[in-house]
Amino acid sequence: MNPHSRFKTIAIVGKPRHDIAFETHIAVYNWLKDRKYNLLVESKIATQLNLPNPSTIEEIGEQADLVIVIGGDGNMLGMARRLAQYDVPLIGINRGNLGFLTDIAPQTAFEQLYRCLEREEFIIENRFLLEVKIESNGKIIESNNALNEIVVHSSQIAKTIEFEVSIGGKFAFSQRSDGLIISTPTGSTAYSLSAGGPILTPSLNAIALVPMSPHSLSSRPLVIDGDSMISLRFAQYNQPHLVVSCDSQRLLPFSSDERVIVQKSPDTLQLLHLKDYNYFNVLGSKLGWLSKLF
């Protein structure tokens, strides 16, 4: 270990899509242990792999200088929501499919970790999260956060809902659709993209509102200032069971007489990359764009 490194205590978290990929967890654990780093291992992973030092997410957030997420983007989303409040940087080793957020390839993991930890050839990129609140009779009864998107929809598939949207306290539009995707720049390459939303570069302070199967040809995605407060109210004759989805991992049920409020979270994800990280290279690779001509 580089004695001058800012990362003394490193945590390993995240579950891969396939059990065979747990080999990466063992290999990374042993590699870091050989270099005398203080190690924390997420409890479920430590138990499954018979590793010492099982730690809760709270302990990891409070004690770790760096968190290595091994798995897919879904793992990074879950960890981002839980760890953003602790201001600890996260770096991802991809054992999933896409790898927009977990951008270290397992084949070159040790070379890239060495560059980050020993030579400190890294940058830290801040990504904002969204916070959603459900309000009933003037009181907040439920809340959660999301790194990619907040989605408001019926709990039943392909059921139209009707709602109105206010932005910054001013009425913006009403809509009949299957729902609304409220996306961060990070989430603009996820569900929002599949619904026809725009790609927003991660550094933008912007939020995209993307209708889901709207019943009007004039309904189009709308990009607004990232500091805006978004409020949704619902027609009383809507389907009785409505849902707010946070990164497709947390569901908050609510009723049509309640209000949904979405705005930027006070917590920020610190995402660590190698210095030669290029967002457009990642974007082009994942979306199959043509390589440069010259």
CB atoms within 10 A of CB 242: 25
Sheet holding 206-212, edge to edge: 222-225, 206-212, 179-183, 149-154, 242-246, 250-254
148 annotated to a ligand binding site: yes
Q: From the candidates 19, 65, 73, 247, which is the catalytic residue?
A: 73
User: 73 an active-site residue?
Assistant: yes
285 annotated to a ligand binding site: no
- CA atoms of 175 and 179, how far apart (whole Å): 9
252 annotated to a ligand binding site: no
77 φ, ψ (degrees, to nearest 5): -60, -50
192 annotated to a ligand binding site: yes
216 annotated to a ligand binding site: no
189 annotated to a ligand binding site: yes
73 annotated to a ligand binding site: yes
Output the six-digit token pair for 169. 């306290």
74 annotated to a ligand binding site: yes
30 annotated to a ligand binding site: no
249 annotated to a ligand binding site: yes
209 annotated to a ligand binding site: no
- CA atoms of 6 and 65, how far apart (whole Å): 7
80 annotated to a ligand binding site: no
Catalytic residues: 73
User: Which residue ranges make up the annotated binding site for NAD(+)?
Assistant: 73-74, 148-149, 159, 176, 178, 189-194, 249
